[in-house]
């Protein structure tokens, strides 16, 4: 069975690494041949190459080096470059991950060829906000895919409402697998940033979503709230995504500590140590949940609705007063329930790919 994984962005590398590891340990029938196609959506070493090294992933068989650009331009260029690879490889499965432009481009390129089976890992997520590029990407990918690999029961219910239940399989979340498998290595790495932030009394923040970075009033409202948290509640560490740094320009925070993007292992360590996490990242919301660290989501909705139970995660948008109120009330968060599978989601994914290969046209 030949699988071609299409990845291009930081969270996809983590998910693909779990699949790579499961394939390396796999002894099932038929045997699996797996290749990676990297679109180059994230091309900065801190957002790309370091993940392949730390997570012990094989180098991509293809790196399309598409780079950044407007959504239509970037997605169109990806489709153009992915298509000849798919025609050459003719995999049994095209495996897509998450909700990025790489996901969308892979789905369209494979579907247009008309003869390839498409599987979507992390299927069924919905924020129900069509102004989010990620929501468009995940909806299109789900409707073009032959097999929908769902991390949660909520995702299964979403697909049932859209008439896609017959294509869906509940596997659990491969990001939970990743946290279980990489936490020990993350602590052992003992990086400078991990040594500098040992105390539990700090907040970890990430901001990179288009809805926040492209709207100056939202971005500056969030920064104002982070400064106030750092001044009145606890220190704040803000690793800056390149796109966020570009929009902030010469901003010099009075109390917030700015850093370059952190590696996956560094983020894991700090997510476990932090007193609270503030983020607009879907992946970081989940990692906060796995770490049992209270999370404040800097968006108007979340696709990870299970995390909202028991105040483990609170959605506050970009309103400084709501952000501050949530930051002052994190002591009430919990308990955290087991919601994301048994820690062997990758194994369930491989089993689903094998069992459905004859069922899907």
| Strand, helix or coil for residue 120 | strand
Decide if 259 contacts 240 (C-beta within 8 A).
Answer: yes
pLDDT tens, residue by residue, 201-240 = 999 999 999 899 889 999 999 999 999 999 999 999 999 9
**Structural domains in the chain, sorted by start:** 2-173+341-356 (3.40.50.2000), 183-332 (3.40.50.2000)
The packing angle between helices 101-113 and 71-89, to 10°, is 50
pLDDT surpassing 80 at residue 360: no
Residues 6 or more apart whose CB falls under 8 angstroms from that of 115 comprise none
Bridge partners of residue 259, in order along the sequence: 239
Q: With the CA atoms of 79, 212, 150 and 273 taken in that order, what torsion angle do they form, in degrees rounded to the nearest 10?
A: 120
Q: Is the pLDDT of residue 169 over 80?
A: yes
The rounded Cα 32 to chain-centroid distance in angstroms is 25
pLDDT of residue 253: 81
Where helices occur in the chain by DSSP H, the ranges are 10-25, 49-54, 71-89, 101-113, 133-144, 153-161, 174-189, 192-196, 210-213, 216-232, 242-248, 264-273, 282-291, 320-328, 345-356
Task: Give the distance, in angstroms, between the CA of residue 192 and the centroid of all CA atoms in the same chain.
Answer: 25
* pLDDT the model gives residue 80: 97
CB 105 within 8 A of CB 75: yes
What is the CB-side half-sphere exposure of residue 97 using CA atoms within 13 A?
27
Task: Please identify which of the residues 42, 208, 241, 348 carries the catalytic annotation.
Answer: 208
Asked whether the bond before 187 is cis by omega within 30 degrees of 0, the reply is no
pLDDT of 67 reads 80
Asked whether residue 48 carries a pLDDT value surpassing 60, the answer given is: no
Residue 294: exposure state from Cβ atoms within 10 A (0-12, 13-18, ≥19) = buried
Query: 58-78 burial string, b = 16+ CB within 10 Å, else e?
Result: eebebebebeeeeeeebbbbb
Find out whether 96 and 16 touch, Cβ atoms under 8 Å. Answer: no
The question of whether 208 is a catalytic residue gets the answer: yes
**Mean predicted confidence (pLDDT) in 240-256:** 82
Per-residue pLDDT tens for 72-124?
899 999 999 999 999 999 999 999 999 999 999 999 999 999 999 999 999 99
Average pLDDT estimate for 280-305: 97
């Amino acid at each position: 069975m030949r699988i071609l994984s299409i990845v291009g962005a930081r969270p996809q590398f983590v998910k693909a690494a779990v699949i790579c590891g499961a394939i390396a340990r796999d002894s099932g029938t038929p045997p699996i041949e797996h290749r990676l196609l990297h679109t180059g959506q994230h091309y900065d070493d801190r957002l790309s190459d370091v993940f392949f090294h730390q997570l012990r992933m094989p180098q991509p068989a293809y790196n399309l080096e598409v780079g950044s650009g407007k959504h239509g331009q970037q997605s169109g260029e990806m489709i153009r470059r992915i298509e000849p690879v798919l025609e050459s490889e003719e995999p049994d499965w095209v495996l897509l991950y998450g909700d990025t432009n790489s996901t969308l481009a892979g789905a369209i390129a494979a579907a247009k060829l008309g003869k390839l089976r498409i599987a979507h890992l992390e299927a069924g997520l919905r924020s129900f906000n069509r102004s989010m590029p990620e929501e468009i990407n995940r909806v299109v990918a789900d409707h073009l895919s032959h097999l929908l690999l769902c991390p949660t029961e909520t995702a299964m219910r979403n697909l049932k409402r859209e008439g896609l239940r017959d294509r869906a399989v509940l596997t659990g979340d491969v990001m939970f697998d990743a946290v279980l498998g990489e936490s020990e290595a993350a602590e052992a790495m003992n990086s400078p940033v991990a040594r500098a932030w040992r105390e539990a009394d700090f907040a970890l923040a990430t901001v990179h979503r288009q809805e926040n970075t492209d709207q100056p009033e939202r971005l500056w409202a969030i920064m104002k709230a982070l400064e106030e948290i750092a001044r009145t509640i606890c220190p704040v560490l803000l690793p800056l995504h390149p796109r966020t740094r570009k929009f902030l320009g010469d901003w010099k925070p009075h109390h917030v500590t700015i850093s370059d993007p952190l590696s996956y292992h560094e983020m894991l360590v700090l997510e476990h140590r932090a007193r609270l996490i503030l983020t607009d990242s879907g992946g970081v919301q989940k990692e906060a949940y796995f770490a049992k660290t209270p999370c404040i989501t800097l968006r108007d909705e979340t696709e990870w609705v299970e995390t909202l139970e028991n105040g483990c995660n609170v959605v506050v948008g970009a309103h400084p007063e709501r952000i501050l109120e949530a930051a002052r009330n994190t002591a009430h968060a919990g308990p955290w329930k087991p919601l994301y599978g048994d820690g062997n989601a990758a194994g369930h994914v491989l089993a689903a790919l094998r069992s459905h290969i004859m069922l899907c046209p």
